[in-house]
Amino acid sequence: MRVLRQRSVFADRRAAAGELAQALRPLVGDADVVVLGLPRGGVPVAAVVADLLGSELDVFVVRKLGLPRQPELAMGAVAGGGVRVLNDDVLADAAVPAEVLDSVTRREVAEVERRERRYRGDRPPARLEARTVVLVDDGLATGATMRAAVDAARLRRPAHLVVAVPVAPRETVALFERADVDIVCLASPDPFLAVGYWYRDFTPTTDDEVAGLLRAHP
């Protein structure tokens, strides 16, 4: 399932989400779909998609485990529920000591737990096992965080996993395709520049907005 086309900018996240939901219409009526928004900006998009699909909504908090001196280079990632995915090639090339990996892991796990409490409160996380899981963000640049989310979600054994975004560069879309990930992307402009460039209104999403959207969705 893949939709790619050139287009002008989206008005805002809600407008982009409406178009994204239309591209995901084959999932309408599937009672076992869960839509997961990557915070913060992916959650407003995911909320609209979940509403239009009639699906469950949840947040999927993922944190990269960055190298101490190169934080943009991921040693792996952690997600809720104690999930940790490691990038063995990076760990080997950088000769990362176990105590350094453990220290970074503890810090990022604490941040995942803090954000999940802030966003969900006492609400338990959605069940992913044997379900169709749609991972949503407001756009991808390098795709590193979404790749970590895919790896973490796969450990929960979904029946089917879909990445859905309004906009991403061609090379990032190709990266997911080569990894055999089902990706739906509305626009893949060239040159890409940045995610925010393709929105007239790209106001940052706040923690309060994320928590409110989750509370408002049954």
Distance, in Å, from the CA atom of 33 to the CA atom of 35, rounded to the nearest integer, reads 7
Per-residue model confidence (pLDDT) at position 134: 97
- The mean per-residue pLDDT over the stretch 92-109 comes to 92
Q: What is the pLDDT of residues 5-64, one digit of tens each?
A: 555 799 999 999 999 999 999 888 777 999 999 999 999 999 999 999 999 999 999 888
pLDDT surpasses 70 at 1? no
pLDDT in tens, 109-153: 999 999 999 999 888 899 999 999 999 999 998 887 888 899 889
Do 148 and 203 belong to one domain?
yes
Number of domains in the chain: 2
The C-alpha R_g of the chain, in whole angstroms, comes to 17
Tell whether 135 and 37 lie within a shared domain.
Answer: yes
Domain check: are 113 and 50 in the same one?
no
Query: What's the token pair of residue 35?
Result: 């839509």
pLDDT at 204: 96
Last residue of a domain, one of 74, 100, 120: 120
Of 120, 153, 169, the one marking the end of a domain is 120
- What distance in Å separates the CA atoms of residue 159 and residue 176, rounded to the nearest whole number? 18
Average pLDDT, the chain: 90
Q: What is the pLDDT of residue 64?
A: 84
- 6 occurs within a structural domain: no
Assess whether 170 and 97 both reside in one domain: no
Does the pLDDT value for residue 193 go beyond 90?
no
In the predicted structure, residue 4 carries a pLDDT above the cut 60: no
92 and 180 in a single domain? The answer is: no
Cβ burial of 94 (10 Å; 0-12, 13-18, 19+) is middle
- Residue range 67-88, pLDDT digits in tens: 888 887 788 888 887 888 888 8
How high is the pLDDT of residue 102? 94
CATH at 132: 3.40.50.2020
Tokens of 90: 């990076």
Task: Specify whether 126 is located in the same domain as 114.
Answer: no
